[in-house]
Amino acid sequence: MTKDQLPGEKDTMCEFCSVELDKVANAEALTGRNLGLLKRPEKRINANLPVKMDDGSVEVFPSFRIQYNDARGPMKGGIRFHPMVGEEEVEQLAFLMALKCAVVDIPYGGAKGGVVVDPSELSEAELERLSRKYIETYHEHIGPEKDIPAPDVNTNSKIMAWMMDEYERIEGEKSPGVITGKPPKIGGSEGREYATSLGGAFVLEEFVKHQDLDKEGLKVAIQGFGNVGSHLARFLHERGFDIVAVSDVAGGIHDPEGIDISRLFDLYEENGDLFEMDAEEITNEELLTMDVDVLIPAAIEDQITGENVEDVEADAILEMANGPITPEADDYLAEKGVPAIPDILANAGGVTVSYFEWVQNIANEYWDEEEVNRKLEEHMRDAFREVRKVKESEPGDTTWREAAYIKSVERVLEAEDYRGNVSE
């Protein structure tokens, strides 16, 4: 039994969370703190979801909801639909949600959900039945003051609408605050659709300022042209950055002079791929190892790994996906002095506007787009400055990730403290 294991328990620790926490355990700001409490989730819930398919057969989809920590407020985090999603991955993501909400100082804990499914193989009606089944099954565990799901990989506002509707049907009353990321017509917030990207743009601007660089003409490569990557390309282009490469699952394009992003949007909408642009075609692997000022992985986890990290030539990395750099690769980058702005700070704009959506829902308010974006900007820039302060007050080799972890862990443990959950 290790020191952190509970008596009578085999091993319920989250391995990744434990390793990551140990890296910051000796931080100045965490002196005397016991991080053991954060090494395992509060609750792991799972269920096999039987769903009637269009041909009359029944398929069973494994699913999870991991509720990691709720010391700072209700559990919060997305639900992903992916054929390869597993309980361990969802647990790591739930842990990251708890820290993410703490970094941007919104009053939530952290959770995450997942369903093992390839949604592209389902009809619209099957997808709806699966989404409703998830809520029917997890109904008693969620709620506007308990646990508030949202979109994540392969889930979107349409799915959130079905999920909210199912929850309200079971409850027999309106309850828009149970889910965020809904369509604006039924209680979603203005600006939520692109909030992750806009938040990332603010963080990158702060980082560039901190490095004493001029953003005008800085070369950026973005992996992923989904909801996050595409909006981010637009926001950064508008702010003077040069987007020299973008990619999606099918591969990418490269133009050293900078891609005309508005033209790319038009062509992408027309053709559904990136390759109609007059630009060099590249692979995803090539994009990740390009010599650029900023590399932005905005697709899925585990993209920069022990295998390819030695070839990474970017001067800095902005993590817009969750967990795109493996811990092994992260250690290498830290050693080499390549700054990586971590996911829990860089992509926190999404959950921040989720919080604004929830506030509007429970207060019956409506905030216009300008108000939402102004508040988002304040939160993101403040969060960056808070993390920067920690980085500057800790030893010189403290990374951006460690600084963000230190700040958020400190906030979660403070909340645990007030609740009487931290031993003297």
Q: Is 383 in the site for ligand GLU (CB under 6 A)?
A: no
Q: How many Å apart are CA 161 and CA 207, to the nearest integer?
A: 36
**Phi-psi label, residue 272: left if phi above 0, alpha if psi -120 to 50, beta otherwise:** left
Q: Which two tokens stand for residue 281?
A: 């075609």
Left (φ > 0), alpha (ψ -120 to 50) or beta: where does 14 sit? beta
Local structure of 422: helix, strand or coil: coil
By rule CB under 6 A, what string of x and - marks binding of each residue 180-219 to ligand GLU? xx--------------------------------------
Question: What is the rounded CA–CA span in Å between residue 267 and residue 265?
Answer: 6
Nearer to ligand GLU (CB atom), residue 78 or residue 229: 78
**Contact mark string toward ligand GLU, 100..129, x via CB under 6 A:** x-----------------------------
Strands 58-69 and 43-52: antiparallel
| Pairing, β 251-254 against β 43-52 | unpaired
* From 73-81, 113-121, 245-253, 402-410, span contacting ligand GLU (CB under 6 A): 73-81
Active-site position among 39, 112, 133, 182:
112
CB 82 within 8 Å of CB 6: no
299 binds ligand GLU (CB under 6 A): no
Among 73, 78, 188, 224, binds ligand GLU (CB under 6 A): 78
For the chain, how are helix, strand and coil distributed in percent, rounded to 5? 45, 15, 35
The answer to whether 77 contacts ligand GLU (rule: CB under 6 A) is yes
Choosing from 223, 227, 303, 322, the residue that interacts with ligand GLU (CB under 6 A) is 322
- Contacts with ligand GLU: how many residues (CB under 6 A)? 13
Buried/exposed 377-395: b ≥16 CB within 10 Å, e otherwise: bebbbebbebbbebbeebe
Tell me which stretch binds ligand GLU (CB under 6 A): 39-47, 70-78, 123-131, 372-380.
70-78
Provide, rounded to whole angstroms, the least separation between the CB of residue 376 and ligand GLU: 12
The binder of ligand GLU chosen from 350, 372, 390, 406 (CB under 6 A): 350
* Amino acid type, 181: G
- From the CB of 20, what's the least distance to ligand GLU, in Å? 16
User: What would the x/- binding string for ligand GLU be over residues 149 to 168, using CB under 6 A?
Assistant: -x-x----------------
Q: Which is nearer to ligand GLU, 298 or 309 (CB)?
A: 298
Query: Can you tell me the distance from the alpha carbon of 257 to that of 242, in angstroms, rounded to the nearest whole number?
Result: 8
Residue 76 is a binding residue for ligand GLU (CB under 6 A) = yes
Whether residue 156 contacts residue 148, with contact meaning beta carbons closer than 8 Å, is answered with no
Select the span of 54-62, 72-80, 159-167, 365-373 touching ligand GLU (CB under 6 A). Answer: 72-80
Distance of CA 13 to the CA centre of its chain: 22
Q: How far is the CB of 77 from ligand GLU (least distance, A)?
A: 5
Where does residue 417 fall: left (phi above 0), alpha (psi -120 to 50 degrees), or beta otherwise? alpha
**Candidates 14-22, 52-60, 276-284, 349-357; binding stretch for ligand GLU (CB under 6 A):** 349-357
Q: Hey, what are 210's tokens?
A: 């901190």
Task: Work out whether 409 is an interface residue with ligand GLU (CB under 6 A).
Answer: no
Q: Does 297 bind ligand GLU (CB under 6 A)?
A: no
Based on CB atoms, which residue is closest to ligand GLU, 155 or 289? Answer: 155
Which of the residues 132 through 151 are near ligand GLU (CB under 6 A)? 150
Q: Distance (Å, rounded) from C-alpha 380 to C-alpha 374? A: 10
The Cβ of residue 112 has, within 10 Å, a number of other Cβ atoms equal to 31
User: Which residue type is seen at 14?
Assistant: C
Question: Is 182 one of the annotated active-site residues of the chain?
Answer: no
Of the pair 246, 351, the CB lying nearest ligand GLU is at 351
Stretch that binds ligand GLU, among 56-64, 289-297, 343-351, 388-396 (CB under 6 A): 343-351
Report residue 167 as tokens.
């929850």
Q: Which helix (H) or strand (E) holds 231?
A: helix 227-238
Which residues here bind ligand GLU, judged by CB under 6 A? Answer: 76-78, 100, 150, 152, 180-181, 322, 347, 350-351, 354
Which residues are marked as active site? Answer: 112
